[in-house]
Structure 1
């Protein structure tokens, strides 16, 4: 029987993260939906030696790298789009603190698909014959790299193709737009392999901008891309992707994106940023106050708000969510 999986953010990170784990973020583009707040909590808990898997780099990996939480990372794209290169990630790589393994976005998606389907490898015609295949950050002295993307023979044509290793992270923290207390989820906007990641990961934690009644999921079963059967926990956290965006809910905070990336460029800036924007709140209300209620109101005036119209009648109020999480709901 399905059960109520609503827990606090602190409890989710305490239960479902540990030093040395292989950790994947379910993200949508470097300025889109990502569980940035889960990464903040990982830094607050001083998790170390993480092996991070990011289809696209986001401000979460930028922060984790700058804070010294990650020793290995695999990524399909490492920039922050219009906001430039990720300075925290750059600094960690250039100082030798972090080994960054490079793949293309297509090959990263194929590796997640292989993990989801429990394939031994994914045959690939991309990344072959390039430095992505021949050079490995995890074996820097091995040229060409023999174990990153080895070649195999297609038994039907005799053609040599690449063999991409499957991804099966220990934990995936996946940002979703709407979740019910049982762990069913709807994502608005681009998915960027969050569907495949949810099947590939050993444990899945959902971070939702809104909690809805299960009747919403029953009304739109074709939109439920992540079902409750594969979810360990659900965390309610509005503005979880801030300073990035969440379609239907809020736009990207351009000023903070720039300020955050500038701060993470130096150890001193990173320390100051963590002091204010990681350790500077203790609960959801404090987090929203830290962002600024005026900023929240401005970012919420998004041109994508209409995307929520079909679901609004089922969205729970913060008071209703707290009652559900505490077991006091009638």
Structure 2
């Protein structure tokens, strides 16, 4: 079994200065935001963040000063506006943001998964994205250099593959050894799980292995690429987890407003990052009424075929205790 606590996952698999990636389904969808909260709780610094799309996790990490480099294909928060914490970090010069498109990021993850030396591509070339690098602003040809297609002689771009040190990937369901099922938009979590050097899953629910045997075709992340599994309901909060809970729109707005200033960020860190110590505290912080409201989601039918195999919290705790003793 690979079940461990959130705190242990961060202690064991993260360090200052690492390349850290998180898997999300759009900026308001399922992302392991609680993993970012724990990174801050443990004081991780100087992170190089890789996000296909910015989420409230990157927004928070940037606002708190934990990220000094970031690469992403979209930096907004969709209907909730631009990410204020990320904006402050970039505009102050504390964070260098390397911009790519929403196609080139998954291509780079695919290249990392396949261990290619580079990814030939026709996207992002002949544009500012190709020639202007936040990481190397002097060399205008280092970000996406041209290479020659040996078959046609055509000039195409060469994208650098991504192989982050760790990917913390939110999934809907996982068994105790790391076979995972994702509901809703997958985005690029499949490619990320193969590109990263290590993968930690953060799961809304742990299921019996009979569930995995019943739906093997839905297992997009297999146990062989997974180092550890963390059971953490509402790990994506305040964003959504399709089939499980909706987006907490009120908190999304309040969070982004708080991260717009140093004072607001300090208050947010005090209340929503340092203000809890374990899962029970975390869920109490969100509030029973809020959780009940968010769980009354119109997408709940997506989870129906799997509910019979979801393990109760007590059984998950027992599995974790046995894993700790092993």
Q: TM-score, normalised by structure 1?
A: 0.97
* Distance (whole Å) between structure 2 residues aligned to residue 260 and residue 10 of structure 1: 23
Q: Specify the alignment match of 1:97 in structure 2.
A: 94
Question: What is the count of residue pairs matched by the alignment?
Answer: 324
Q: Which blocks of at least 5 consecutive residues in structure 1 are unaligned?
A: none
Q: Deviations over 1:290-312 (max 9, x none)?
A: 00100000000000000011101
* Distance (whole Å) between structure 1 residues aligned to residue 138 and residue 290 of structure 2: 48
Instruction: Give the Å deviation of 1:192.
Output: 1.1
Q: Deviations over 1:177-211 (max 9, x none)?
A: 00000000000011111000000000000000000
SS of 1:13's partner is helix
SS of 2:103's partner is helix
SS of 2:10's partner is helix
Among 201, 205, 218, the residue aligned to 1:206: 201
Matches within 5 A, 1:9-28: 9-28=6-25
Instruction: Give the Å deviation of 1:139.
Output: 1.4
Determine whether 1:172 maps to 2:161. no
Matches within 5 A, 1:278-297: 278-297=273-292
* Distance (whole Å) between structure 2 residues aligned to residue 319 and residue 174 of structure 1: 24
Q: Specify the alignment match of 1:82 in structure 2.
A: 79
Q: Specify the alignment match of 2:297 in structure 1.
A: 302
SS of 1:105's partner is coil
Matches within 5 A, 1:1-330: 4-142=1-139, 145-327=140-322
* Distance (whole Å) between structure 1 residues aligned to residue 52 and residue 74 of structure 2: 7
SS of 1:177's partner is strand
* Distance (whole Å) between structure 2 residues aligned to residue 115 and residue 214 of structure 1: 30
Q: TM-score, normalised by structure 2?
A: 0.98
Instruction: Give the Å deviation of 1:46.
Output: 1.1
Instruction: Give the Å deviation of 1:147.
Output: 1.2
* Distance (whole Å) between structure 1 residues aligned to residue 214 and residue 305 of structure 2: 10
SS of 2:142's partner is coil
Q: Deviations over 1:232-255 (max 9, x none)?
A: 000000000000000000000000
Q: Which blocks of at least 5 consecutive residues in structure 2 are unaligned?
A: none
Instruction: Give the Å deviation of 1:141.
Output: 2.9
* Distance (whole Å) between structure 2 residues aligned to residue 166 and residue 141 of structure 1: 22
